[in-house]
Amino acid sequence: MQRFIIAFTVLSCAAAAGHAQSGRYYVTDESGFNRVWQFQGGALAGSFATNPAGGADGPIIVDGNTNTVRSVKGGFFGGSAASPGSEYTFAGGVVGPVSLDPSAHAGYGRVIDAAFDGTNSYIVHGFGGNAGVFRYNANFSGPGTLMFNIFGQDASTAQGITWDGANIWTSDYVLGGAAGRVRKWSSAGVEISSFLVVNNAGVGSERNTALAYDQSDGTFWMNAHVENTLGFGFGELWQFDSAGNFLQAIHARQTDSTAPSGILYWGGEIFTIPAPGAAALLGLGGLVALRRRR
């Protein structure tokens, strides 16, 4: 875990300024395509099929320790039976099965996203029931330990979740036209800060999913859903800086005419890809960490 944190700290310091998409964003979809989509550099970079087929994958984590991606079916509520999924190579090869079991948490709301801190995965139950953040093992196993409950009319709708290296963040999934917020939480469940999900034209997004933090440039990505008024279909992927300033929006159809247009992304996490100048620093950081541990 120490090496993981030091590596990401080095990357954060070495990242170049600008609005480019640095990490590779892995997202699942609710729309029945049964794929994990990959966005890199502001463009669709590829996709692979999810296993088992059918249903919609939701919670997804990207593990830089094992260089694998794990996802499970989404849309379930607390108290449901275990939700199946798989672990994949970055290219989409199936490594083996995984599952997430929320059966011990009856009364908690829907699950469609996950976060990962290098050791544990985190699930937020929100929309449609009690709201809370639960900790599971790296492969989604275990009964799930309640970290904290979430209260507040909009905050408790949370459906997106990510980890920034120190804190959990969630995103609101509100209905009725009001813009949701992205919220930063302490480990005790105290809201530290938040920002509105509004683009540079003043349009707010209500249903904010697939929340992901890019360690390489300190920005947030999420699926923005504006009651089907967005030009390309159900959702776009919006980027914000750490202060909540809107940076850009991308959609697969902008770079690939064969990509689906009507799509809503559910789960999302980012794999940090070192910049050319950061690769040597990353190696040095890892070496220092190993020497200190010895």
Each domain of the chain, given as residue ranges in start order, spans 1-16+275-294, 24-274
CB 98 within 8 A of CB 141: yes
Q: Which CATH class is domain 24-274?
A: mainly beta
Lowest-confidence region among 35-44, 107-116, 159-168, 237-246 = 35-44
User: Which amino acid type is present at position 196?
Assistant: L
Q: Other CB atoms closer than 10 Å to residue 231's CB: what's the count?
A: 9
Q: What is the mean pLDDT of the chain?
A: 85
Q: 83: how many CB neighbours lie within 10 A of its CB?
A: 22
Percent of the chain with pLDDT over 70: 82
Following CA atoms 95, 99, 137, 80 in sequence, which dihedral angle do they give, to the nearest 10 degrees? 170
The residue ranking higher by pLDDT, 7 or 230, is 230
Q: Please report which helix (H) or strand (E) contains residue 147, including its range.
A: strand 145-149
In angstroms, the CA 231 to CA 225 distance is 11
Strand-pair partners of 103? none
Radius of gyration, alpha carbons of the chain: 18
pLDDT bracket for residue 4 (50, 70, 90)? very low
